Amino acid sequence: MTYANANQKTDQYLVQKIMTASSEELVAYVYNYGATACMKKDADQARKAVQLLISNLNFDVKDISVTFYNVYRYLQHLINWKKFSEAQAIFVELRDTWKKAFKLNV
């Protein structure tokens, strides 16, 4: 198997994983993606994760969504200030808490 074939199989696996994931699992994936981007000091990808999280908030439930919005805005500031280790720690804490709350094994 060539590298290109192995990479294509991995991509197919990831696409299938995302397409069959629940909304709760998708949020955990985005938290993980943000943490990984911060670990790599990739501000653009970390910002994309935060923007995706913000864009999917349901403001019909004001108390919770406003709280998450404030956390996400703080994450944006940390990323803009290049405080990647602090942002990564928050992404990881959010991911772990989210997984625990929804009993996810992702």
**In which element (H, E) is residue 1 found?**
none
What pLDDT digit, counting tens, does each position of 61-103 carry?
A: 889 999 999 999 999 999 999 999 999 999 999 999 999 999 9
Contact (Cβ atoms closer than 8 angstroms) between residue 29 and residue 106: yes
Is the pLDDT reported for residue 1 higher than 50?
Answer: no
> What's the pTM value of the predicted model, to 2 decimals?
0.85
pLDDT of residue 9: 62
What pLDDT digit, counting tens, does each position of 21-65 carry?
A: 899 999 999 999 999 999 999 999 999 999 999 999 999 988 999
More confident residue, 8 or 93: 93
d(CA 75, CA 64): 17
Nearest CA to 84 among 52, 47, 56? 47
